[in-house]
Amino acid sequence: MKTTNRIFWTTFLSINFVIIFVCVSAAITTHKETKLLDKKYIRAEMNLYYGSDTSARVSHYARGHQTWRPFCPECAELQRKGKL
């Protein structure tokens, strides 16, 4: 009876330790993956901002204009300085 009881508790505790280890490992992996996704999202947002800003500036220089146009960064700077 004592041997069976000892085997039961040893097996039970071993399984619990394995389950805890797997859960902690999964939590750490999930945390790392979330951080990586956040970095990728921020990088994509930065690329989108720079791409749209560059295209606005290129279109401004390709088709120069003397009046204010919305969403044009050059026009916004000139308007702030009072030149437009």
**What is the structure's pLDDT at 84?**
62
**What is the structure's pLDDT at 62?**
66
67 CB-side CA count, 13 A: 1
Q: What is the pLDDT of residues 10-57, one digit of tens each?
A: 888 888 888 888 888 888 888 888 888 888 888 888 877 777 777 767
Stated pTM of the model: 0.42
User: Is the model's pLDDT at 1 over the cut of 60?
Assistant: no
Residues 78/84, Cβ–Cβ less than 8 Å: yes
DSSP sequence for the chain = -HHHHHHHHHHHHHHHHHHHHHHHHHHHHHHHHHHHHHHHHHHHHHHHHHHHHHHHHHHHHHT--SS--TT-HHHHHHHHHT--
